[in-house]
Every structure is written in C-alpha cells, then in structure tokens.
Structure 1
Amino acid sequence: MTRRILYVVTRAEAGGAQSHVLELLRAMRAAYDVVLATGEDGFLTNEARSLGITVVLLKCLRQPISPLLDISATLELMRVVKAFEPSLIHCHSSKAGIIGRAAARVAGVPAIFTVHGWAFGEGASKFRNFVAVSAEYLCSKLGGGPIITVSESDQALALRHGIASKEQVTVIRNGISDHASRAFPGREGIPTAVMVARFSEPKDHMLVVRALAATETVRVAFVGDGPSMSKVKEEVRGQGLETRVDFLGTRSDVPEILARAHLFVLATKHEGLPISILEAMRAGLPVIGTEVGGIPEQVIHGKTGFLVPSGDMEALRSKLEMLSQNPSLRAQMGAEGRRLFEREFTSSRMIDEIVKIYADVLGQERLGTVPPVLAHAAVGEIRTAKENQSAAQ
C-alpha cells in the first residue's frame, strides 16, 4: 500500500517556501501519494494541480496571528487528516507548522516541520518574539517530531532559544532542480542587476534603490509583487531613476530573466536560505547579498559574490559599482557560484536527505540514498538540463 504524505503550507503565492514544497511534490509523488493543504489559491496550488496532485484549501489558514481563525484552521485541518488518513504530515512555514503539528498530535499522526526562517529574531517586536518562541517551544515539546531547518543559522536560533534539542533539529539546506538557462555575466553592455523578492518585510528594496541613486554604472530589475511596491515606485520617481529601474512583477520565466542579467542582488533584514540566490547561482551569476540568516552559507564572500551588512547603503553601492565595472570578475564569480550550486544545492541532494528523515519517522528501513524511482527522476532531470545546456552552446 502506497503511503500518503500531507504537505501543509500557509500561503500559495510565489516564494521560497512554496518553491521548496513544489520541489518535494514533484519528486515525492513518484514514491508516495501526496496531498497539498494551504490557505489560498496561487502559484503553488496551480502548479500542484497541473501535476495531478490533490489540493485542499483551508479557508481559515491565514498568516497573521488570530486566535479564532487559528483554532478554526486547526479544526479544518483535523477534518482533512481524518478524510485523507495520511501516514505523515510535513508542515512548512511558521503558522502551518503550529496548526499542522497540533492537528497531527490530536490525530496521532507523525509530523515533520521545515523552518523557512523563524517568525522570531532580529527586527521582530519583543511581543512577537515572545509569542513565536513560546508557540514553537510548546509545539516542539508536545509534538516531538523532527524539525528541519534550511540553514545552520536557523538551527542555531532554535538551540539558543531552547525550542528543541540538537538531536531533534536537522539542517537540510534548500536545493533546486537544474535548468538549461545560463547567464553570461561578463558580456558587454550596461550591467543589469536583478532582485527576485516579494515587496514586503523583511526584504529591503528601498536600500537597493538608494544605493542605485548613488552610482551611475548599473540598472536594476525587480521581479516580484507585494504591498510595499507602491512605496518603492514612489522612491524611484523621487530619485529620478525611472529609466534605470524596471518593475517586472511576478513572473514564471525567472530563469530566462536571470540569463539576461549581469549580477544578482538580495537586500533583506533577515532570511532563511533564499531560493532566489540559489536560482542566481544556478544561472551562473555573481551575488551580492546581505549578511543575515543563511545567506553567508550560500555566498562565499570574495569568491562567488559579496556579503554586505544589512542596511548599509554605502557597502551595497560599493559592491554594485565594483561588479558593474569589472566584467571579468563577474564572470569568475558567476562560474564559482555555479560550481558551488552543483556541489551543494541540487534538489537531488536535498530530496535524498529528506527521504531519510521520512524513512526514520515512518519506521521504514533507513535508506542510504533516494529510493530508486526518485533517484532516477532526479538524475534524469539534471542530465537533461546539462544536455540542453550543451546543445545551446
């Protein structure tokens, strides 16, 4: 009998956690019966349905803290668990992690929680930190299931706040599928920096705009949407940068956009292990990222790109200017980033490590590698991408 895994994530809009879940859905459906539960329709639900995966919408599952809605969402999810009888519930993002583990506890179903950046930490209010840490502590102690963090930084936060033991928290860094599109960052032309990120906290688009205003050597293209976009557009107009900044909105052709760029930038106040940086590395772009969360685990300063302090406009301006004026350095750093992606950030590596956690939780024989059906799919995917790349050259 095929085991069933229920994936629970709060939001379905395009984002890092959603891209991560999509990687899992694509791979795990080869060996498991998979179901997706989320609080809204969007990018992830559309992609899941196109794969033939059952999608359940939880109308009360929302991101902001709301005791009444949160209790209702937990009851909704309990009904879903009763209807689908999963062998395992895999929760993603803070709110889904709390209600998912609560529903799993009541139903007697094992649960795993993947952290895509904690809801507490620098930049959050004392009240939010207290509520978030308390909720995570209770869920960890009552649920007792494995916690996966996508970065060593998030694992360290969990241990520092006493949320879970070191044995309970495993670091499995994000990985993504390969793609044939490649950038040529050393080519001539007015350099374009791309930032792929939602226009909302903790992302810092304003910092990029202000750094851009202090140099004349680079253009910027923003990919994404969100509530702060109008304010960023106002800043662009106020700085007279309309001809040097493009707002591309939410796009499905991000690999192709990156392939036309010269460098990648991500300014943010706190972070897990952003998928957008992995996409840039995969494309062969040098990366400028703020030195927060798991970003220093992705960007090797001075080798694959540069790290700058969060909020430091002058440091960001300096690195944008340096890379925009040095094509050979862009090409060198982009190539190093691509090699690092191939070594450490592929989806096959990530899936292999997650399947081992599944095997432990489900009481199966511990697997040293991805099950053959998954391994075949992952290897074939990478081989096809490399063949496409060779054909394009």
Structure 2
Amino acid sequence: MNILYLNNSMHLGGDNKCILKLCKELKKDNKIIVASMGGILESELNNLGIMHYKIHDVVNKKPSIIISNVYKLIKIVKDENIDIIHSHHRMSALTAKIVSKFVKVKVIHTQHLCIEDKFRLTKFALNSIKIITVSESAKKILQTKSKLNGNRITTIYNTIETENDNKVVDKRLINLKDQGYFIIAQVSRIIDYKGVYDFVDIAKKTVIENDNIRFVLIGDGPEKENLEKYIKKERLQDFIILLGSKDNVIEHLKYIDLLLLCSYIEGLPLAPIEAFSQGIPVIATNINGTNEEIVEGMNGHLVNVKDIDQFSNRILELYKDREKLIEMKINSKNIFNKYFSSDEYISEHIKIYCKG
C-alpha cells in the first residue's frame, strides 16, 4: 500500500508520535509519505527515510490556502500513487475529503482528542469517512455530539516507543536523583489546557509538607515564558525545573518516581502509557480518555480536575507508603503489556487499511 499521513504540523506531540510509530513499523512493506507544514520532527522522518512534503497550515481557512493545499495534495497523490490518506487533524481530514473528489483515494482519520466544541464542523469534516478514535470516550462524543455513524468508528488504543537511540539525559534531572529526591514529573506541552499552572500549585502545596520532593516538567509550548514567571512569583525555582522538550522521554522517565497529568481535555494521552512502560504509576485528572488508562488504585489514581489538594495528598500518601508504590509500579508494567502493545496497535491499523 502507498499511504500518505497528513497532519497540520510535525510538532512534538502525541499525534505525531503516533504518525512516527506507524511510519517506522509500516515502511518495510509499504510506501509511506508524510505531508504537513513542517516542524521539529521532520528530522525524525528524515532518519526513517520517509519523504515529507510541505503544505500550508490546514487550520488556515482562507480560500486561497485551502485551494493551494488541495492542488498540492492532488499532485502528491498522483505522483506517489497514494492509495490511502490517513489524516490526524480535523481540518486535514476535510482537505483530504476534497482531494478525494478529484482523485481516487481512500480517506481515514484518527481523532486524537475528546472534542468539547465545534461538533457541527467535526460532523462536516468527518462524515462518510472511516474514523479511528484513540479512546472509547472520543468515539462516544463523535456519535452523540457530532451525530457520526458509529459503524464507521473504530477505537485503537495508542502505543509508544519503549526504546530511544538517544540515551542522553538532562544533567539537572540526574543531579536531583543523585541527591536522593523523590521526583514527580509531568510530560506535556506547556499550554493551559494541560493544567500546567495546576502542576505548579500542586508542587507548592506538596513541598511545604515534604522538602524531599522535587517536580520537573518535560515539554515546551506557548505558555512557557508565563509559566516561568509564575514559578518565580511563587518562589519555587528550587523545587520545579522546566526541562524543555526531549526527543527521548523514555530515558528521562527512568529517573522519575511518579507521573502527574493535570490536563482538562485529552484523547488517550501518551505520557501515562510511556510511564507505564517504565513501571511508573500515574496520578491524573479523571477525564475522558485518561480514565481508560488508569485503574484506580492499581496503576495510579484519578482525581478531580483542578483539585490541588487531592493531587498533593495522593503524592504524599505514595511517598510514605513505599509498599503500595512498589505494587503500583508492578501493576503499571503489567497493564502496559496487556493493553498498549505495539503489535496490537499496528495489526489493527493494517486491518482498517485493508478493508474496502
């Protein structure tokens, strides 16, 4: 098969980690092409030997931009003899549908988020095409809110890479471990809906109770400068470290004791799955998608959105109860192996690609 993966950009995010995983696993027996407006992960595509075509931002709704993207994609489909366009953004799916009116190509879309608005636009963009959702919660929303046909929707849980070629770990994290600190991390974009300010508030409350705990945030994003100011304002520079984006998150997680995820909205976040692969329990907000990954009390805890006290209390409980922490670590690894394996992820995608 000749497959074109279509997304808005190649930023450091869960959607593009999924694209890279599919590229890596499928390129041996298939021709794989990627199109987006570019980004930091273009170098990863290059390392895999995957051709990347640059297009305009699919979120831009100017007619001239839409028309330009349609023409570019029609040419790519023809030149590369594409059989399937697999989109990973709502607007890229709409663009792909337009392209399919001019050239014979199957369109498949993966819905990565549990959407909270723009239900009519979603229905318009995704109606009549095959949809993959990363959680049952995302599927239910598409059916009930966007009135999409459930027979066209299949849930495939995400997977992750468990090995990184790059073994270099940030020295600041290594130093914290060498000093014997209990380390809490969040891996996410630094953006408001990931609850990054809640992460700071949780750290503030927790370190008042226990000075042997430190917090690190792995990721980058538009709120980074404001978050740094907030950390400074709260005088938490000695307790919270922003490590920035890492292309080898797994290697950094090997130094972590607990993962937090303070998000307000997700699809099926990759960070908990990455943590589970390393035997790390997760304390996260009880939201759609995330609550399909965490079995309360087994591989982590679910807490209410913005409940700073509950987050902090759970951290302190596990710090004190090391037997429970070890039990959760074992459960985390077992749950990863059972539900989030790479083999299942790839085989389910192949089934959908091969269906008429």
In the alignment, the residues of structure 2 paired with residue 222 and residue 228 of structure 1 have an alpha-carbon distance, to the nearest angstrom, of: 13
Partner of 1:137: 123
Report whether the alignment pairs 1:277 with 2:263. Answer: no
Report whether the alignment pairs 1:157 with 2:152. Answer: no
Given the superposition, is the C-alpha separation of residues 64 and 275 from structure 1 closer, same or farther in structure 2, using an over 3 Å criterion? Answer: farther
Partner of 1:249: 244
**Is contact 1:26-1:51 (8 Å) kept?**
yes
Report whether the alignment pairs 1:38 with 2:36. Answer: yes
Structure 1 residue 314 displacement after superposition: 1.5
Q: Structure 1: which 5+ runs fail to align?
A: 122-128, 182-186, 362-393
Report whether the alignment pairs 1:47 with 2:44. Answer: yes
**Secondary structure, aligned partner of 2:158:** coil
Partner of 1:194: 185
In the alignment, the residues of structure 2 paired with residue 66 and residue 102 of structure 1 have an alpha-carbon distance, to the nearest angstrom, of: 15
In the alignment, the residues of structure 1 paired with residue 94 and residue 312 of structure 2 have an alpha-carbon distance, to the nearest angstrom, of: 40
**Secondary structure, aligned partner of 1:41:** coil
Amino acid at match of 2:8: T
> What is the number of residues matched between the two proteins?
341
Report whether the alignment pairs 1:298 with 2:293. Answer: yes
In the alignment, the residues of structure 2 paired with residue 148 and residue 319 of structure 1 have an alpha-carbon distance, to the nearest angstrom, of: 34
Partner of 1:327: 322
Partner of 1:19: 17
Structure 1 residue 287 displacement after superposition: 0.3
In the alignment, the residues of structure 2 paired with residue 106 and residue 138 of structure 1 have an alpha-carbon distance, to the nearest angstrom, of: 18
* TM-score normalised by structure 1 residue count: 0.82
Amino acid at match of 1:171: T
Q: Alignment partner for residue 101 of structure 1, among 81, 94, 97?
A: 97
Q: Alignment partner for residue 206 of structure 1, among 194, 197, 215?
A: 197
**Following TM superposition, where does structure 1 have runs of at least 4 consecutive aligned residues deviating by more than 4 angstroms?**
64-68
CA displacement, residues 366-385 of structure 1 (integer Å, 9 cap, x when unaligned): xxxxxxxxxxxxxxxxxxxx
Amino acid at match of 1:215: T
Partner of 1:365: none
Report whether the alignment pairs 1:168 with 2:152. Answer: yes
Partner of 2:171: none
Amino acid at match of 2:193: P
Amino acid at match of 2:348: E
* TM-score normalised by structure 2 residue count: 0.90
Structure 1 residue 46 displacement after superposition: 1.1
**Secondary structure, aligned partner of 1:310:** coil
**Is contact 2:94-2:126 (8 Å) kept?**
no
Amino acid at match of 1:159: Q
**Is contact 1:208-1:316 (8 Å) kept?**
no
Structure 1 residue 188 displacement after superposition: 10
Report whether the alignment pairs 1:148 with 2:120. Answer: no
In the alignment, the residues of structure 1 paired with residue 21 and residue 302 of structure 2 have an alpha-carbon distance, to the nearest angstrom, of: 27
**Secondary structure, aligned partner of 2:266:** coil
**Is contact 2:286-2:303 (8 Å) kept?**
yes
CA displacement, residues 109-136 of structure 1 (integer Å, 9 cap, x when unaligned): 1111011115x40xxxxxxx3xx32222
Q: Alignment partner for residue 223 of structure 1, among 208, 218, 222?
A: 218
